[in-house]
Amino acid sequence: MPADVDISDLAEAAKALLLRLAAQPVLWTVGALTVLYVLHSIYIYTRLRQFPGPFLAGWTRLPLIKWHVGGKAHLELQRISETYGPLARIAPSVLVTSDPELLRRMTAARSRYKRSSWYMAFRFIPDRDNIVSVRDNDAHAQLKMKLAPGYSGKDTVGVEEKIDDNIRALISLFKEKYLSGPGETNLFDLAQKMQYFTADTISDISFGKPIGFLANDADMYDYLKTSADSFPFLIVLSLFPWLMHVMALGPIKKYMPSAKDSLGMGRIMGLAEEVVEKRYPPKVNDVHQDMLGSFIRHGLTKDEAKSESLLQLLAGSETTATTLRMILFHVYVNPRILFKLREELRQARPGSPITHAEASKLPYLQAVIKEGLRIYPSITGVMLKDVPPEGDTYQGKFIPGGTAIGYSVMGLFMNKAIWGEDAATFRPERFLEGTKEELQERDVTIDGAFGWGRWKCLGRGIALMELNKLVVEIIRTFDLSVVYPTHPFKNYNAGIQVQWDMWMRATLTEQKF
């Protein structure tokens, strides 16, 4: 300290500064909040310091937000899993895992983990839960019991026949409008047609009749476009779940999709509500054997039925459509795989349309479908689960309560330790090669495309039936070629894969299967 500076002068200066601050409460408040924020950030960072990850992610959610808004979160989380290990830090209180054993333990029936507030974004009606958004484990179990008979087909009639009807409608559409002949090319967007098929199929199964995408060869009510446009917004909501409460407020709610709208998601909400309204109050002699009828018989309230019906249309079309697109794309750009599939069909000689039971017995077809689920999973959101209040332990490291753990689906499905050195390659044979234990582990792991345990997707059986049947009917009927091989399709990932401009050329195959 310089000799000419008096300590008493410094004390007087500090006292004067304190008095000035005391006279300005705003400065005191800002200062106090800043100190509290810094101390809280240090505390949160310290709680998970034993888990590696990008340095900035330990202090702020900004990297996580950037990855999601940029549509690259699934790839970034894969990179983090490969760089930092099977349990890594991606935000101050958030970890991500690619360890199938940990994921199965978290989702087991008796697990004390529960869904985090991340799931609130999937309340498609802001103030009303559905089977995806409900967070309480007991409430989820009770709702699942009411829905399961309808989804499983045990309480419905003609599910497979409805899928067959919509397959015939799609095949007819291709034959009537999109076949190419010598010297001519009638282009069509396979991505779009697959979603027409899945949207009509799930509405047919749910309500007893399709919406009409295939019959009109059009995006009815601009539904598919507006739903795809909404996915980036949904993923932002999942990272800021408190926004759901804001959206439920009157001034904001009036700008949200409404059943009174004539287009978009609001119109589909209106269609779902119209169907539900006609079924309530339930009639003693109600003979509807569709999924909605099953829900009603098992005690769903009218509001619950509206919420679940909307979820079926939103979740049951885009996800299955993505898997169909990517299976067909990879099959047709790999002649070897197409030949093996057709040879399996030639030897099996199944009926047309092939039955689900017949398809389930074709080992190479099943391997192709599993590989399609693996190479391009339709849902890549982190699906955060809250660690129990008492905490948990992973590989000797304590995970404190208040932490959320997410799922790196690409980290899991591209893990070379499980899938081999060629994990990035579409090669169905990996599901047919190896020891019994290795094959069983791969089968259990690929089921993660539908979730495990308590939160396994109820629509899994219907989705697999659609995949089994439509893939066979397309490859036995058409030869498809990619029109623009250097840029075969466009894709945006907002936690759900969205593809478009998958332009194809179709001719009738001359072979018989």
pLDDT in tens, 293-322: 899 889 999 999 989 988 888 777 889 999
Per-residue confidence at 99, pLDDT binned at 50, 70, 90? very high
**Cβ–Cβ < 8 Å for 86, 103:** no
CA 170 to chain CA centroid, nearest Å: 25
At residue 10, does pLDDT exceed 60? no
What is the model's pTM?
A: 0.89
Of 354, 331, 311, 315, the closest CA to residue 450 belongs to 315
pLDDT at 313: 81
**Cβ–Cβ < 8 Å for 220, 211:** yes
Beta bridge partners of 125: 128
At residue 1, does pLDDT exceed 60? no
Q: Where are the domains of the chain?
A: 48-411+421-508
pLDDT at 252: 56
Residues 6+ apart with CB under 8 A from 100: 412, 418, 441, 444, 445, 448
Cα–Cα distance, 467 to 376 (Å, whole number): 14
Per-residue confidence at 5, pLDDT binned at 50, 70, 90? very low
Residues 6+ apart with CB under 8 A from 458: 131, 144, 147, 148, 151, 152
pLDDT at 247: 64
Give the model confidence (pLDDT) of 381-404 as tens digits: 999 999 999 999 999 999 999 999
Quick check: bond before 281 cis, omega within 30? yes
Residues 6+ apart with CB under 8 A from 340: 364
| CB-count burial class (<10 Å; 0-12, 13-18, 19+) for 369 | buried
Pairing of strands 385-386, 114-115: antiparallel
CATH for 48-411+421-508 is: 1.10.630.10
457 is in an annotated binding site: yes
Per-residue confidence at 69, pLDDT binned at 50, 70, 90? confident
Length of the chain counted residue by residue: 513
At residue 119, does pLDDT exceed 80? yes
Average the pLDDT over 100-121 and give the result: 94
